[in-house]
Amino acid sequence: MSDASKVLIIYTGGTIGMVEDPETGYLHAFDFDHLLEEIPELNKVDVELEVTSLEKPIDSSNMGPKIWVDLLEVIEQQYNAFDGFVILHGSDTMAYTASAMSFLLENVNKPIIFTGSQLPIGKIRTDGKENLITAIEIAGDYENGYPVVPEVAIYFEYALYRANRTTKISAENFEAFHSPNYPLLAEAGVHIKYNRFAIQKPEIAPLIARKQIVDDVASIKIFPGLQQKVFQAVANVPNLKGLIIETYGSGNAPSLPWLTEELVALNEKGVIVLNVTQCVTGKVIQGKYETGVHLERAGVISGEDMTYEAAITKMMYLLSCEELLLEEKKQYLETNLRGELS
């Protein structure tokens, strides 16, 4: 790791930033300007650290596109001044925000590492200290002047995941995240072992931050007994531009005439419909069964092995690209842009 590595910690909120008031026992956010007091081990990490915070740190359940823009602006403004970034974020929506950053930030060539914790950093058994320390080490890890991990990633409980391949699977375990269809980028033990074959190559172009986010999107999960009026309630939302349908198995849905008709109507209105599977692993193959073929015929696009989080944020990103025609946006949804598709 280079002595010159400078890492910016950006606090957005979440459990990791909480300490317990010794008098009341209540949890409250601590002042990250005093980070070294809470985690003196950081004095031994071979990076130059600076800390900043969003104007109003929030619970990650309140995270959304408006606050993504605030985060994009911080990264954009500070990008040339730092070698890497660590974003502290609540775990509940971390996979959404991290996936969104992977798309909305074009030409990333530095580490942007999300982390958080299941227990507040002020608790004795917290997982936050190790998560933060190792995330900082990864964000500042350079070899021969080049970053080892030049992409957006999530570090949690000894594992580094590609951001847009990650989903939260546990509300209790320290191993809260999983990458169902892609290998880990790194594993942290006595040493940090990088799986270099899995890590993206850096982009050689100036950073672009897409801050005009189109969030006129919706999703619906297919289930036995789904009624047309329920589907219509979602599909007929005013100004809808994109719809995610979560289907069975390898991308299957009931071959009901009304469902096909609704999907054809959406396609004719210019609403992009993207198919992702409800299964944790595997992928959508719409041509495998008749119950998937009718979706393809209706103009539904295959999400292949994208996570739900990647699918919804990629949809928002591409809808924001005003320079693209509708058919180009559909084509790019099926194209691997940031390592989100196999």
Catalytic position from the list 12, 15, 93, 126: 15
Query: In terms of domains, do 201 and 255 share one?
Result: no
Q: pLDDT per residue over 198-218, tens digit each?
A: 999 998 999 999 999 999 999
Confidence at residue 2, expressed as pLDDT on a 0 to 100 scale: 46
Residue with structure tokens 């930033």?
17
Query: In terms of domains, do 183 and 252 share one?
Result: no
Beta-sheet strands, E only, within the chain: 6-11, 18-20, 27-29, 48-53, 84-88, 105-106, 112-115, 142-143, 146-147, 152-156, 159-162, 167-168, 177-178, 186-188, 192-194, 208-209, 217-221, 242-247, 272-277, 301-302
Boundary (domain end) residue, out of 159, 176, 209? 209
Q: pLDDT per residue over 230-249, tens digit each?
A: 999 999 999 999 999 999 99
Q: Give the rounded percent of residues in the chain with a pLDDT score beyond 70.
A: 95
The tokens for 6 are 């400078």
In whole angstroms, give the CA distance from residue 238 to residue 228. 18
CB 104 within 8 A of CB 68: yes
Q: Is 115 a catalytic residue?
A: no
Query: In terms of domains, do 176 and 251 share one?
Result: no
CA distances from 96 to 72, 76, 148, 308, 309 (A): 14, 19, 24, 9, 5
Fill in the amino acid letter for 301. I
Query: In terms of domains, do 128 and 14 share one?
Result: yes
| 30 pLDDT tier (thresholds 50, 70, 90) | low
| Structural domain contains residue 306 | yes
Residue 239 belongs to a domain with what CATH number? 3.40.50.40
> Residue 143 CA to chain centroid, in angstroms?
26
Query: In terms of domains, do 112 and 11 share one?
Result: yes
Boundary (domain end) residue, out of 151, 185, 209? 209
pLDDT over 90 (residue 331): yes
pLDDT average, residue stretch 94-109: 98
| Structural domain contains residue 1 | no
Boundary (domain end) residue, out of 151, 182, 209? 209
Confidence at residue 200, expressed as pLDDT on a 0 to 100 scale: 95
pLDDT over 90 (residue 183): yes
Q: Considering the chain, what is the average pLDDT of its residues?
A: 92
Confidence at residue 14, expressed as pLDDT on a 0 to 100 scale: 80
Residue with structure tokens 């502290």?
88
Domain count along the chain: 2
Which residue range forms the structural domain that includes residue 62? 6-209
| Structural domain contains residue 171 | yes
Query: In terms of domains, do 273 and 308 share one?
Result: yes
In whole angstroms, give the CA distance from residue 152 to residue 210. 15
Query: In terms of domains, do 194 and 262 share one?
Result: no
Query: In terms of domains, do 29 and 50 share one?
Result: yes
Query: In terms of domains, do 82 and 125 share one?
Result: yes
Confidence at residue 28, expressed as pLDDT on a 0 to 100 scale: 65
Secondary structure class of 126 (helix, strand, coil):
coil
